[in-house]
Structure 1
Amino acid sequence: MSPTLRRAALAAALVLPATLLSGCSLVQGGGSCDGSGAARKNLAAQPVLSSPPDGATDPANYRGVGVSTGCDDDSPGPAWLHADRVYAFTGTRRAVVDHYARVAAAQGWRRDPVSRADATCWTRTADGRHLVLAVDFQLDAWSPAPDPGKGIGYEVTVGSNADGSDALASCTD
């Protein structure tokens, strides 16, 4: 193989994968968080986030934090908006799930028939936006991990695609 041909083959081998990866990202359409402030504020105002069972409190190391919001745009598809609240509770997981089942139903949420042992999920549409509500007991990845004292810790999250669509927005994600 001539040196010129070898250089051309090497350049193609280096440039082609980067081009293909960029093309895949464009085709899959990773979303953006730009301009999502109002939608995140609306998620944070969802009444279910401020409707804990009697006796639930802020974790000892999260006092005064209340609802936090965020936007994740680092994966394919629309950007994911979320509003989260963490609680400490001296009761059982079952009591938490039963409480939110009642609260969610009263607020128009539909429970997903497929639930994990460590989380429960509901969906609904409000103002044309598909919403996902999750109650999750797996808080090990939090930094710092919430300190529930002698009880349990859990998180309540309301999320939505930035564009409000139901694409990839479900309880099984």
Structure 2
Amino acid sequence: MRHPNHPATRTLARPATLLLATALLTGGLTGCDALASLDVCGGTADRVKAMRSDPVLQAAPEGAITPKGLGEVEAGCSEDSGAGWLYAERVFAHPGSREKVLDFYRTAADKDGWLLRRGAEQGHGTGRAEEGLCFTRGKDGDTFTLSVHFTDARQLKENYDYVAGPEFDSGAGFEISINSELNGADSGCFD
């Protein structure tokens, strides 16, 4: 081990100190704790794996298809300004009505232990409750939300850089997702 005053140690320490100071200053200027956000998602692999394999994400109404390129469950941990959340989601296209999709998930989610949040049906500003559903499972500190909401070609392009094909021309394109705050706090689906 080199002595702290050895010239090579001082030479290496200066860039490291400068890098650390820059990271702290940048975090202070942006309102983020730069060091805290370096490993926000560490240790979440088991929870993400459990969310990815939840049976409700594998269930789909009769006739639903997974669009080419969007067929897999996308799951992970996402960090935004030091706050992290877990997600597992997938997209389907369905040739039938939106109400058939919602009826299917009301039943499938109930069988899987999800509780429908009363008053949590949302209409993306349309005033129609048939636009989406919100469910919860667990208790505060270990809460997950499940949302079913409808999507269109524009949203698919924005969210997935996906160009929607003819499977989205009729019927209902929808996303189903499970989410959780890192600390398991109770949160809403459409906040």
TM-score (norm 1): 0.73
* Runs of 4+, deviation exceeding 2 Å: 17-22, 145-152, 162-166
CA displacement at 1:20 relative to structure 2: 5.8
How far apart are the structure 2 equivalents of 1:35 and 1:19?
Answer: 23
- What residue identity is the alignment partner of 1:137? F
Aligned pairs, number = 148
**Of the candidates 37, 49, 53, which is equivalent to residue 45 of structure 1?**
53
**Gapped runs of 5+ residues in structure 1?**
1-16
Task: Name the structure 1 match of 2:65.
Answer: 57
Pick closer, same or farther for the CA change 1:41–1:136 going to 2, 3 Å.
Answer: same
Q: What SS does the aligned partner of 1:73 have?
A: strand
Q: 1:172 to 1:153 in 2, by over 3 A?
A: closer
Q: How many percent of aligned residue pairs carry the same amino acid?
A: 30
Q: Is the 8 A contact 1:124 1:131 kept in 2?
A: yes
Supply the AA of the counterpart residue of 1:124. Answer: R
Q: Which has the higher contact order (CA 8 A, sep 6+)?
A: 1
Aligned AA for 1:123?
A: T
With over 3 angstroms needed to count, the CA separation of the structure-2 counterparts of 1:162 and 1:145, relative to structure 1, is farther
Q: Which residue of 2 aligns with 1:162?
A: 182
* Contact 1:39 1:162 (C-alpha < 8 Å) held by counterparts: no
Deviations 1:125-150 (A, max 9, x none): 18x62100011112512311443344
- Comparing 147-156 with 38-47, which one deviates more in the overlay? 147-156
Aligned to 1:103: 108
Q: TM-score, normalised by structure 2?
A: 0.67
Separation in structure 2 between the aligned mates of residue 88 and residue 145 of structure 1, nearest angstrom: 13
Question: Counterpart of 1:144 in structure 2: which amino acid?
Answer: Y
Unaligned stretches of 5+ residues in structure 2? 1-24, 124-130
